[in-house]
């Protein structure tokens, strides 16, 4: 399913666009961009495509492949797909490490590599949705944090490599956000879920919009955001 593309709309590819932060980003960018809706669940992809003014599916498993065909020119690439798993180092086996890194780092690197010609053609922008865990780790969070540290290193290197090609690169680090993944995490921790303590996905989308809308002469290289309230 594809909705008609108005002329002169820039193109944005959003991975993980069928839920949570990725969906909020796709909806926000849909106001001004032709959105390639990335995900694995075709029914959810088609539902979102049908609700946007200009969109088309980008359906596929970025870990297992193959990666769907990319356009010749790409203005924005938002990496929002990701997973969280693992426990303490003592209780986390190698398979879990490999699964998390495959989704949060390796798939991002491969899609970016394939998209670079299209990004260079448009003097485009790469946005990685990282995490507060990309700056610090806590007990039981080694696997996820290590993948986000690696993602930050990837983003930093890509930014410097692509300066001369006119491709801007931004790393957005939201704190805990009200998503299905967050609710599952809090339930596993045995805490009461209070939505006031979490960012809304739309707030993260607004931050991404700030990155996207900055004139091309500048780059918001790293953006960190946290919920205003904290658990007492």
Which of these is catalytic: 144, 149, 154, 198? 144
Residue carrying the six token digits 């993980």: 16
Maximum CA extent, the chain = 55
Is 144 among the catalytic positions?
A: yes
One-letter-per-residue 3-state SS of the chain: CCCCCCCCCCEEEECCCCCHHHHHHHHHHCCCCEEEEEECCHHHHHHHHHHCCCEEEEECCCCCCCCCCCCCCCCEEEECCCCCCCCCHHHCCHHHHHHHHHHHHHHHHHHHHHHHHHHHHHCCEEEEECCHHHCCCCCCCHHHHHHHHHHHHHHHHHHHHHHHHCCEEEEEEECCECCHHHHHHHHHHCCCCCHHHCECHHHHHHHHHHHHHCCCCCCCCEEEECCCCCCC
Q: Strands 11-14 and 34-39, how do they pair? A: parallel
Catalytic residues: 144
């Amino acid at each position: 399913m594809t909705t008609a593309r108005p002329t002169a709309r820039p193109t944005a590819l959003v991975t993980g666009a069928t839920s949570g932060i990725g969906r909020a980003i796709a909806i926000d960018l849909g106001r001004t961009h032709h959105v390639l809706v990335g995900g694995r669940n075709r029914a959810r992809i088609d539902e979102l495509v049908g609700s946007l003014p200009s969109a088309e599916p980008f359906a596929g498993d970025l870990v297992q492949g193959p990666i769907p065909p990319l356009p010749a020119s790409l203005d924005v690439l938002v990496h929002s797909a990701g997973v969280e798993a693992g426990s303490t180092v003592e209780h986390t086996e190698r398979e879990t490490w490999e699964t998390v890194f495959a989704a949060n780092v390796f798939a991002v690197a491969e899609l970016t590599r394939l998209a670079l010609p299209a990004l260079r053609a448009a003097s485009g922008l790469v946005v990685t949705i990282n995490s507060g865990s990309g700056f610090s780790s806590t007990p039981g969070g080694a696997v996820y944090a290590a993948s986000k540290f690696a993602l930050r290193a990837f983003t930093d290197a890509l930014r410097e490599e692509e300066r001369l090609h006119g491709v801007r690169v931004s790393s957005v680090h939201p704190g805990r956000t009200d998503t299905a993944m967050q609710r599952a995490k809090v339930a596993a921790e045995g805490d009461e879920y209070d939505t006031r303590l979490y960012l809304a996905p739309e707030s993260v989308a607004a931050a991404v919009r700030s990155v996207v809308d900055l004139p091309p002469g500048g780059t918001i290289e790293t953006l960190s955001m946290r919920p205003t309230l904290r658990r007492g």
